[in-house]
Amino acid sequence: DAGVTQSPTHLIKTRGQQVTLRCSPKSGHDTVSWYQQALGQGPQFIFQYYEEEERQRGNFPDRFSGHQFPNYSSELNVNALLLGDSALYLCASSRRGAYNEQFFGPGTRLTVL
Partner 1 sequence: SQELEQSPQSLIVQEGKNLTINCTSSKTLYGLYWYKQKYGEGLIFLMMLQKGGEEKSHEKITAKLDEKKQQSSLHITASQPSHAGIYLCGADKVTNAGKSTFGDGTTLTVKP
The helix/strand/coil state of 85 is helix
**Shorter beta-carbon distance to partner 1: residue 81 or 107:** 107
| Site membership for partner 1, residue 60 (CB under 8 A) | no
Residue 85 φ/ψ, nearest 5 degrees? -80, -5
Task: Kindly identify the residues of this chain, within the stretch 67-96, that bind partner 1 according to CB under 8 A.
Answer: 88, 90, 92, 94
The helix/strand/coil state of 84 is helix
CB 4 within 8 A of CB 23: yes
Q: Which of 11, 22, 54, 58 contacts partner 1 by CB under 8 A?
A: 58
CB 4 within 8 A of CB 68: no
Amino acid letter, 51? E
**Shorter beta-carbon distance to partner 1: residue 42 or 70:** 42
CB 63 within 8 A of CB 75: no
| Site membership for partner 1, residue 102 (CB under 8 A) | yes
| Cα–Cα dist 91/29, whole Å | 12
Taking CB under 8 A as the binding criterion, the range among 15-23, 52-60, 64-72, 78-86 that sits at the site for partner 1 is: 52-60
| Site membership for partner 1, residue 66 (CB under 8 A) | no
Amino acid letter, 111? T
| Site membership for partner 1, residue 99 (CB under 8 A) | yes
User: Which residues here bind partner 1, judged by CB under 8 A?
Assistant: 4, 31, 33, 40-45, 48, 55-56, 58, 88, 90, 92, 94, 97-107, 109
